[in-house]
Amino acid sequence: MKNSAFFLLLIGSQCAAFASEIPKNDPEYLSYEIKKDENLSIIASKYLEGEQALNRLLKLNNKKSPNAIPVGEKILLPKDLLKYSASTATVSKLNCNNAFLVNDNPKQLEIGGLLNEDDVIKVPAGCQVGVTLEDGSNINLVSGTLLKFKTLRVSAIEKSPQVDFELMNGRVDVEVVKRAKGDAAFEIHTPKALAGVRGTQFRVGFDEQKNTSQVEVKNGIVAAKGQANDRSEALTENQGVPISEEGLAGAVETLPSSPNFLAIEKQNPASPTIIKFDADKNADKHILRQSQDATFSQILDDHLVDIAQIELNQLSNNAVFYQWTALTKSGLQGSAADYAICKSESAQQKDRCNVTFYMRGFKNVAMNMQKFDETTKSYQDVIKTGQSATEREQFLLKSLPAGKYQWQMSYKVGDNTSVERKGVFDLLVVN
């Protein structure tokens, strides 16, 4: 089959014959379609840099002259000669005042602040930082993370910014806007691992004390590679791989599910309320986070637990949010599950309570929330707002009935950077 394809290419144009020598998806080259009034001289001047750019382009595409190139013909551009300009990232979520840049002149981060190539972010304990790239991709940095923006730039021809983050400690949770084949690379390095994607949701962790890494995929495909491995491992939805201290990737694992709600127990009015959950048999331990709002902008508590249950001594009609994450023995984390827990305000408001969303520093906020309907087995609108020009510290939804909800919030920060965040939670009401 290979010989037949090669023969057909040989009897075509010179460009086609040369293209047969370069793999179709070679990451070193970019495919480009000639447009009206373009030739190789114009393309070299517009998209490439260096005195030898035109000669390199002619040789690469087996052309003797830069002129008379048919409209619609596809050529190859060398990626190492592409012209780049600086790209930026915007701080789009911040839950404390002491997350800061570790550069020559350290400074505190603020909502709407810009981050550039070579910037280093240090996230202190108890803090979380969210940044949004120019293409809308979101990166969430958890407590204790140290991250360098090693590469952050954009070419005139690629739609997405080229990104290379160096994770020196902690964890990042990434939502990458889908990238087409041949688009700019999105990679995260740790001292022990490399993860590269085109469009997906995934997490990368590095523990500087244990000198180990983890790569976990929520959806999409991620190529994960240990520093000492010869080839990368393709991870798909709900898969992860641990990277050892020696830089070797372990066996691919199925990530454990987060605990499912079982029951609410209260023996007498004076005893604490016990919220019981059913844990995945593959989970070794669980992380339990606590926050006062649905976006987990402010983490009140974050600790490991062995038994999947929550013991509560005090409850109010303002829901407190709890987030479960299951851990494997190798340290991989499954997807999180959020639960809002509260006490109904009165007999007249049975099975209802209040839910809060913090939005400090957000502009032009639009909110959409839906509740799952057990009869139709579909989500139905509860609230859907247009953009609000008024800035507010929080968004309070009163008297929500118990049930499963999904929400989506869009807003702007800084110089009108658009941000979109979404989530799902179960509202559990204690009567």
Last residue of a domain, one of 40, 60, 82: 82
Last residue of a domain, one of 82, 97, 131: 82
Query: Alpha-carbon distance 421 to 419, whole Å?
Result: 7
* CA within 13 Å, CB half, 151: 14
Beta bridge partners of 378: 373
Same domain assignment for residues 131 and 112? yes
The domain in which residue 221 lies consists of 85-253
Last residue of a domain, one of 38, 64, 82: 82
Same domain assignment for residues 74 and 138? no
**Count of beta carbons in the 10 Å neighbourhood of residue 366:** 15
Same domain assignment for residues 203 and 217? yes
Q: Which residues contact 322 (CB under 8 A, 6 or more apart)?
A: 288, 289, 290, 310, 338, 339, 340, 341
Same domain assignment for residues 234 and 118? yes
- Model confidence at 87, in pLDDT bands (50, 70, 90)? very high
Q: Give SS3 for 160.
A: coil
Q: How many domains does the chain have?
A: 3
Model confidence at 313: pLDDT above 60: yes
Handedness of CA 379, 380, 386, 392 (dihedral sign): negative
Looking at every residue in the chain, the average pLDDT score rounds to: 88
Q: Which residues contact 55 (CB under 8 A, 6 or more apart)?
A: none
Same domain assignment for residues 182 and 260? no
Query: Alpha-carbon distance 193 to 211, whole Å?
Result: 11
Same domain assignment for residues 224 and 301? no
116 burial (CB, 10 Å; 0-12 / 13-18 / 19+) is middle
What is the predicted pLDDT for the residue at 127? 85
Same domain assignment for residues 77 and 109? no
The arithmetic mean of pLDDT across residues 153-174, rounded, is 93
Q: Express each pLDDT in 201-238 by its tens digit.
A: 999 999 999 999 999 999 999 999 999 999 999 999 99
Placement of tokens 């551009």 in the chain: 77
What is the pTM assigned to this prediction?
0.84
Residue 31 belongs to domain with CATH number: 3.10.350.10
Same domain assignment for residues 294 and 311? yes
Model confidence at 17: pLDDT above 60: no
Model confidence at 126: pLDDT above 50: yes
Same domain assignment for residues 138 and 210? yes
CA distances 242 to 168, 198, 212, 235, 391, Å, are: 16, 21, 8, 12, 43
The arithmetic mean of pLDDT across residues 257-267, rounded, is 93
Q: Which residues contact 373 (CB under 8 A, 6 or more apart)?
A: 379, 380
Same domain assignment for residues 267 and 241? no
What is the predicted pLDDT for the residue at 198? 67
Residue 341 belongs to domain with CATH number: 2.60.40.10
Handedness of CA 333, 337, 338, 344 (dihedral sign): negative
Q: Express each pLDDT in 360-372 by its tens digit.
A: 889 899 999 999 9
Same domain assignment for residues 69 and 91? no
Residue 214 belongs to domain with CATH number: 2.60.120.1440
The first and second tokens of residue 375, run together, are 């009869």
| Residue 53 dihedral angles phi and psi, to the nearest 5° | -60, -45
Model confidence at 108: pLDDT above 80: yes
Same domain assignment for residues 77 and 192? no
126 burial (CB, 10 Å; 0-12 / 13-18 / 19+) is middle
